[in-house]
Chain A
């Protein structure tokens, strides 16, 4: 077992394993730090900046992203200061300028007493948290989508904006998206995602759709099986 350290989060003493992050330590004692890009299944990323907290370590006090910053012995963390909340209010209003309607953002805004953004609204939908891109690379392991462009024109897209060659149509990207802006549709034996139609594979037993053929082929490959093995039966007829 790894070494444990003791830190203080909002005046509460917390024990956490060295190497874990402040947001994880806070979660353990039921202090919820708001965030939009942090996901326990993914590598820390630190992009949305909702999870900023104020830390004092030694003589220095500063703001850090709690989804990346690692716990340390004697660390003092405050999750609810004026400085912290100012950053969060800014981030929420900036996100609302990209996506003024999604309930996830509106709920977060309501927690901070924000009804609407004071900024110019340019609806983009996507808030660029990168969970889709990171899930595809880190969890699914195919990296079929990525970021395109830099700065304000940054967006999530398949390579060259073409039909994604490596996509297995698993739908993980759509599933993790916190603001539901990745459209996915299953209809007539076909899954449509990223502007591409992927045929579904059918159960040899009952004939129902199991999953996209590409996804099953991918699983077959990494688990050393064949597509035939994976389509013998399904959850419905097993």
Chain B
């Protein structure tokens, strides 16, 4: 398949050919080889799978599909066996022969590899019945499981590049923009700016050439949805970019991706090569006279380079520092030329809108937030993973129905959305719909999709301090409020968590937050006070407990806590004594233990290991 495609009709032929390669009734093992599952050792499983299938001479009867991330990272390594869509999870190398001999050859379900619903206790056979997936609407991310990211044929087989053919073949550029405006697509990178308007402004701006850029400088702690899209379905991002370039009138695109995402870089690089071979990128795309090419720019990992003007500076070969944005990038962006910068997920939504129409798209979501959003659900949550939900779903549904609630019977305390510059949302707002504007109203934001769940054992002062430390390290240092202000706020929080805070410190923080937000040069500093503001707003009692009572109610801040052993509850099982790294926990077998406070380093290992809840923290 190296011949260039010269028309939309030829593309259709190629799609049909790609489809025919695949027999839908032939068993296919789709195994997740996203970065998360690879870290579990999935590559071994894949190798074993291939060897065992070869040994049995079954390669004609069963195929293997190594896919990108499926999302349910908590349960990896995992596979889905088609056509029935049997879902196996936490698979070990030893399970492979049974999977082939019993399930593939005899249709027998392996009970031990099924997912057990922790609520009902039922074992679930099929992927679509797993509660984690049930409430999701995986329009963008669902394709990951259906294709090998390295195969453009796979993408064509599921109808890939149809939207491009439609846009280039049947639509004027302005009609493409109008469609995206009508779909009310908003930027998924955090800002939530209407994508269609951005395109329209870039199209109308004077200047040549015009650029389209994919922002893949994902950097929020714990967030990996953009990486997983680039790794798992790079062509969907490319297709979105080519359509956008056509609409805007751009001939050159860039993908700015952090170099710490090696698999994403590899897969997107390969995808560009394949697309170029087929003439989907390059000169005279699909014979329509439209030409467009894409270059990859690997970033060095600076968080601030996700900010548009810093990203442009970085591509231009200068230090990745923001400049004042009193002129929009749509007028003067990269190289001072009109530029549209959209996030990975935004681009991946575009083919869907063009293919299925804005009416279809706009029917999903709320009044002003349309479509779906991928969240990276992490922290104190049973089902860690990537979830794609329709806008308007409540936080409670995400955390409890999809996420399976809080582990170990602990109580929910807060959920942090919007990455390090988002806010911590307490229990009282859990029924809030997930919507750009609603999340801003309560002091947080949609952000790029980080969602960190916290339970009663998370100290909110410590959490605020953590995010400030992150931002302090990532500030570029150009403007004073961000460089010095975040550092000084972090120092105040240090004092408070060490038991040396004063009530005046809270006043100082309250005064600093709006001044830093107002005074900072870019959005990094502009939103940095959010974690402090929201934790002070919703968890002020915790701050006061640290200051007035010199106590950390969550039992986290080492200077303010003491571990003791409840003499009545202790059974003398000796687990704490064995696990204690400083031999502070001691006692005889079947006798109550004690902790030597002078030797205790407050690591909490005894607390975590005690099966009888005898270790108390106060």
Contact = CB atoms under 8 A, between A and B. Distances in A.
Nearest to B525: A49
Nearest to B490: A152
Interface stretch (A10-18, A81-89, A222-230): A81-89
Interface in B66-86: none
B516 A151 contact: no
Contacts of A152: 472, 475, 477, 483-484, 487
Interface residues of B, number: 31
Contacts of B475: 150-152
A86 B512 CA distance: 8
A97 interface: yes
A202 to B, nearest CB: 40
Contacts of B483: 128, 151-152, 154
> Which of B302, B324, B512: most chain A CB closer than 10 A?
B324
Given A120-B491, A150-B302, A152-B487, A95 B324 contact: no
B521 A87 contact: no
Contacts of B487: 152
Contacts of A212: none
A153 B473 CA distance: 9
B404 interface: no
Given A47-B479, A68-B326, A147-B319, A87 B484 contact: no
Contacts of B473: 151
A97 B480 contact: no
A90 B474 contact: no
Given A128-B483, A150-B302, A152-B483, A90 B519 contact: yes
By size class, the interface of chain A is 35 or more
B497 interface: no
Interface string B20-61: 000000000000000000000000000000000000000000
Contacts of B518: 52, 63, 83, 86-87
A49 B480 contact: yes
Nearest to A117: B488
Contacts of A89: 515
A46 B521 contact: yes
A119 interface: yes
B488 A120 contact: yes
Contacts of B474: 151
Nearest to A127: B480
A150 B477 CA distance: 6
A52 B514 CA distance: 14
B519 A47 contact: no
Residue of A48, A52, A87, A151 ringed by the most chain B CB atoms within 10 A:
A151
Contacts of A68: 324, 326
Interface string B513-545: 011101111000000000000000000000000
A90 B323 contact: no
A98 B483 CA distance: 12
Instruction: Tell me the dominant secondary structure on chain B's binding face.
Output: helix
Nearest to B489: A119
Interface string B481-511: 1011101100100000000000000001001
A118 B484 CA distance: 13
A64 interface: yes
B535 to A, nearest CB: 20
B523 to A, nearest CB: 13
Contacts, number: 97
A77 interface: no
A90 B323 CA distance: 21
Interface string B110-139: 000000000000000000000000000000
B515 A87 contact: yes
Contacts of A86: 511, 514-515, 518
A97 B484 contact: yes
Contacts of A141: none
Contacts of A7: none
A46 B324 contact: yes
Nearest to B504: A118
A151 B516 CA distance: 15
Contacts of A132: none
A87 B472 contact: no
B102 interface: no
Interface in A87-104: 87, 89-91, 94-95, 97-98
B478 interface: yes
Contacts of A147: 319, 477
A131 to B, nearest CB: 13
Nearest to B327: A70
A49 B511 contact: no
A47 B478 contact: yes
Interface in A131-175: 147, 149-154
B446 interface: no
A177 B258 CA distance: 37
A65 interface: yes
B514 A48 contact: no
Interface string B275-312: 00000000000000000000000000010000000000
Given A52-B519, A63-B518, A119-B484, 9 more contacts: A47-B478, A49-B519, A86-B515, A87-B481, A91-B519, A94-B481, A95-B480, A120-B488, A151-B474
30 contacts: A44-B324, A46-B479, A46-B521, A47-B521, A49-B479, A49-B480, A49-B521, A63-B518, A69-B326, A83-B514, A86-B514, A87-B481, A90-B481, A91-B480, A94-B481, A94-B484, A94-B488, A95-B480, A95-B484, A97-B488, A98-B484, A119-B491, A120-B488, A127-B480, A128-B477, A152-B472, A152-B475, A152-B484, A152-B487, A154-B477
Smallest CB-CB A-B distances: 10 pairs: A154-B477, A94-B484, A87-B519, A90-B515, A151-B475, A151-B477, A68-B324, A49-B519, A119-B488, A86-B515
Interface of A: 44, 46-50, 52, 63-65, 68-70, 83, 86-87, 89-91, 94-95, 97-98, 118-120, 127-128, 130, 147, 149-154
